[in-house]
Chain A
């Protein structure tokens, strides 16, 4: 039982390049989330998907797109990376009707030069 798996774990991009962060969960959770973590800023919600087929903006959605590919997978895309997007990105999942506990992946460290 792997829980929440994110790939890649590390990535270096040049300004303007694009990339996709992949996330998959094997806990049959309905809801999935993407957060970014920056020093002193805590965890900020980028996008979330309450259930398969739906996506919603969080606090800091600008510069990102998401796709809920199926119940297991939720990807985050940077179309034209900027240095301000240098961050650690966490994917998480939860049951919408459950306890509310978010299960996080290990994180993906992205550096944009």
Chain B
């Protein structure tokens, strides 16, 4: 099955700085790469996703990039704010087989004022 590695496991940035979280995947058939955010004590929620037919996608302060050749994808958060503090999970799946996602182990992001 798909194996997703995520780095770093913890990340601390100052408010206003950028944060980058990187993931690698093993299955070249994977074509769907979502990112979920989980605030403390809450459920995970989708924040952005990308499919293998595009290399980059942006939504306001967050963006995701995908390098299919190298099998890695990254989440970029610009102008970080304290409310960005959360655990972020990447995942990868071959959507032709459904959406049973294999998640990375998560990155705990702390944004300090």
Contact = CB atoms under 8 A, between A and B. Distances in A.
Interface range, B side: 20 to 34
A106 B46 CA distance: 14
B99 A100 contact: yes
Contact of B100 (A33, A90, A104, A106): A33
Interface in B4-57: 6, 9, 32, 34, 36, 43-46, 49
Nearest to B103: A43
Contacts of B106: 42-43
B98 A96 contact: yes
Interface string A40-69: 111111001010000010110000000000
B65 interface: no
B10 to A, nearest CB: 10
Nearest to B41: A107
A39 to B, nearest CB: 10
Nearest to B108: A40
Contact of A45 (B32, B34, B43, B101): B101
Interface string B69-113: 000000000000000000001000101001111111110000000
Interface string A98-113: 0111101111000000
Nearest to B97: A50
B99 A96 contact: yes
B45 to A, nearest CB: 7
A94 interface: yes
Contact of A44 (B6, B34, B103): B103
A31 interface: yes
Given A42-B89, A100-B32, A100-B95, A90 B44 contact: yes
Nearest to B34: A100
A105 B102 CA distance: 18
A1 B36 CA distance: 22
A50 B97 CA distance: 9
Given A33-B101, A48-B100, A50-B100, 12 more contacts: A31-B99, A31-B100, A40-B105, A42-B106, A43-B103, A44-B103, A56-B100, A94-B99, A101-B49, A102-B99, A104-B44, A106-B43
